[in-house]
Amino acid sequence: MTVIEGNEDHTVDGVRYGGRIGERGSYRAYSKYFRRSDLPEPGDKRDPDGTMMRGGFRSDWKPSDRDSLMVQGGLFRELANVQDEIPILTAPFEQDFANTE
């Protein structure tokens, strides 16, 4: 298990766990969560905080001396709330629009 706190990375938390399955198998699973602070932008603008979560697993098997099998999967999700600027040809020459996807 890891936990990190700071000024730019408000929190980074992670967990990993694994072990053996019988004589010929092993597994591991993990999860990690990040919450980052807003980052400086040109013109003294700031992006809002963002979060990211990821997790996954892996399992290895050796059913015989000749064969092996590995199964793996993962998930990922990020929320950034980044603000995009759209140039326009009349004053004030740009328009902010919040991108929340």
Average pLDDT estimate for 40-65: 78
Task: At 97, give phi and psi (nearest 5°).
Answer: -145, 135
- Percent of the chain exceeding pLDDT 90 equals 40
In this prediction the pTM is 0.58
Pairwise CA distance, residues 70 & 74, whole Å:
14
Pairwise CA distance, residues 3 & 25, whole Å:
30
Helix/strand number for the chain, H first, E second:
0, 9
Average pLDDT estimate for 20-25: 94
The count of domains in the chain is 1
pLDDT at 95: 57
Is the pLDDT at 21 greater than 70? The verdict is yes
pLDDT at 52: 86
pLDDT at 59: 97
Is the pLDDT at 34 greater than 60? The verdict is yes
In the chain, the amino acid numbered 82 is V
* Residue span of the structural domain in which 52 resides: 2-99
Does residue 64 sit in helix, strand or coil?
A: coil
pLDDT at 77: 87
